[in-house]
Amino acid sequence: MKPVLHIDSENRSIITAMTGASGAAYGLRLIQRLAEAGVEQHLLLSKAARVVLKQEADIDLPEQTELATSVLAQHLNVSSQHLHNYALEDWFSPTASGSAGIKQMVIIPCSMGTMARIAGGMSDNLIERAADVILKEKRQLIIVPRETPLSSIHLENMLKLSHMGTHIIPAMPGFYHKPETIDEIIDFIVNRVLDHLNLCNPEAKKWGV
Ligand SMILES: Cc1cc2nc3c(=O)[nH]c(=O)nc-3n(C[C@H](O)[C@H](O)[C@H](O)COP(=O)(O)O)c2cc1C
């Protein structure tokens, strides 16, 4: 049976962004879980995310946003009804302004480049702008950074964002639950993200419970 997420009214609209770090499977799985739960998702994909999607998941996303949404939905076997994809220069999208009231954003996976630009307040594309909006409105930003090893620049940017309230959930899966498949390893991280989004997720294993 598919796991069910319980959504309260505050959690109905989430920005899900994928950037060009390795770990496209994390982003795909989160999009799938949220779509299955009927969460309204605003999808933002960097150019490099598309390259990684092709390399790691053999997904060739068309440029046209509606087409890209339907290719993604088909690949994930979910309805595209609650998926909205925007071009990275679509400054008129609801993700570009605080007045649209979107309260949560996840960047999964998050590249060191995007993280640095957000920490520096660049707002040069819609992902950076959306994150900038979430931070200025003091709403919830979750990032799932992926790189190894980490330089002092990466660590400083993480610390800076953490001081601003960003939830840093690095793509560092644990192994104490003895995963047997890659999917279980992916779900370890995605379940932690769902926890932080405050979505009730009966599937997630709780330590000591
Ligand atoms: C297959 C592949 C894997 C990559 N893995 C990483 C990674 O794990 N972390 C990272 O910060 N950049 C990684 N990069 C490099 C980024 O994609 C590159 O820095 C890009 O400019 C990031 O752009 P974005 O932040 O707009 O997505 C990878 C690139 C490719 C093609």
Q: pLDDT tens-digit profile of 68-85? A: 999 999 999 999 999 999
Contact partners, residue 117, CB within 8 Å, separation at least 6: 124, 128
Cα of 109 from ligand 1 centre, angstroms: 9
pLDDT at 170 over 70: yes
* Top mutation candidate among 18, 54, 111 for ligand 1, by most atoms within 8 Å of CB: 111
Q: How many domains does the chain have?
A: 1
pLDDT at 8: 58
- 144 in a structural domain: yes
Mean pLDDT score, 121-130: 97
In a domain, 71, yes or no: yes
- Report CA(74)–ligand 1 centroid distance (Å): 25
Domain residue limits at 174: 10-196
List the CATH number of the domain containing 117. Answer: 3.40.50.1950
Please report the pLDDT score of residue 1 as a whole number.
56
Confirm whether 86 is domain-assigned: yes
For residue 88, is pLDDT > 70?
Answer: yes
Q: Lowest mean pLDDT of 5-9, 19-23, 117-121, 166-170, name the range.
A: 5-9
Give the whole-angstrom CA distance, residue 150 versus residue 142.
Answer: 19
The mean pLDDT of the chain is 94
Nearest to 29 by CA among 199, 161, 194: 194
Q: Stretch 153-179: mean pLDDT, rounded?
A: 97
The CB of 147 under 6 Å from ligand 1? The reply is: yes
Residue 172 CB: number of other CB atoms within 10 A? 12
Rounded Cα gap, residues 137 and 117, in angstroms: 18
Q: How many angstroms does the Cα of residue 48 sit away from the middle of ligand 1? A: 6
| 200 has a pLDDT exceeding 80 | no
Cα-to-centroid distance, 5 and ligand 1 (Å): 31
85, 132, 151 from 138: Cα distances, Å: 24, 10, 28
